[in-house]
Amino acid sequence: MKPKVIVMSGYGINCEEETKYVFEQSGAEADIVHVNDLIDGIKKFSDYQILAFPGGFSYGDDTGSGNAYANKVKNNLWDDLLKFVQDDKLVIGICNGCQMLSNLGLVPAFDGEYGKRNIALRWNSTARYECRWVDIKVQSDKCVWTREMDTLKCPISSGEGNFYGEPDVIKRLNDDGQVVFRYIKPDGELAGGEFPYSPNGSTEDIAAICDPSGRIMGIMPHPERNWNFYNQDNWTLVKEKAEREGIALPEEGQGMQIFRNGVEYFGG
């Protein structure tokens, strides 16, 4: 049986269609569900195995990116959401969705304490919206979503992607293996906060984190936008090199592996 994915929508989320698409391409069934349909009981978290908070600019980023949407979820759906995450199910938050997970306290959720907020996504160090391709590298084998992965090229698209935590929080993330991705330079070295390799000035180049179980991941770059090799910013160069060296081109974009990992967790 195919796992079912609930893709959240409403109030300025604008990446739900492509998020639904990549999950379907990975072998899942996916529904786009407005948050009000969950609040009204028309749809239920319990009918799904994977929950996705897509990218966008919910509530126009008023009161801080992802904050108002997270409050709407927490004030109306918290008990149902908490049961979902405690039932060995998966959650992914991408860009604005990552900001929502942070505000909800679903990541990092040290010691399984969901609901406590102890990280923030602040304004980019450039003080402007950044939209560019970046390279990121897996930092831990804890996360379900990044199994069999090493590096990934995908776009960043945010004004508030600057990951911040107090020193004790950052240390705990590192010690517990909850830093999932870091920004890197094209040669594979850490970005070291250097723009544009680190597009936002994130603390220790952090691009994604997970909860202690590895089932909930918040990621600022957009892996769903690299679902097709020809979406990649350097595809012409890669294609030319492949033709000269006589090697096959990738059948799909690098980002697809994240969504396949989520589906395969349930045997899909």
Tokens 């040669």 -> residue: 187
Residue range 138-151, pLDDT digits in tens: 999 999 999 999 99
Output the 3-class SS for 205-265: HEEEEECCCCCEEEECCCHHHHCCHHHCCCHHHHHHHHHHHCCCCCCCCCCHHHHHHHHHC
What local confidence, expressed as pLDDT, does residue 1 receive? 85
pLDDT, tens digit (0-9, with 9 covering 90-100), for 73-120: 999 999 999 999 999 999 999 999 999 999 999 999 999 999 999 999
What's the domain count of the chain? 1
**What is this structure's pTM?**
0.97
pLDDT tens, residue by residue, 209-240: 999 999 999 999 999 999 999 999 999 999 99
65: tokens are: 């990116």
Q: What is the mean pLDDT of residues 177-184?
A: 99
Mean pLDDT (whole number) for 27-37? 99
Set 95, 143, 154, 210: catalytic member = 95
User: What's the domain range around 245?
Assistant: 4-264
CATH number at residue 230: 3.40.50.880
Is there a catalytic annotation at residue 34?
A: no
224 is catalytic: yes
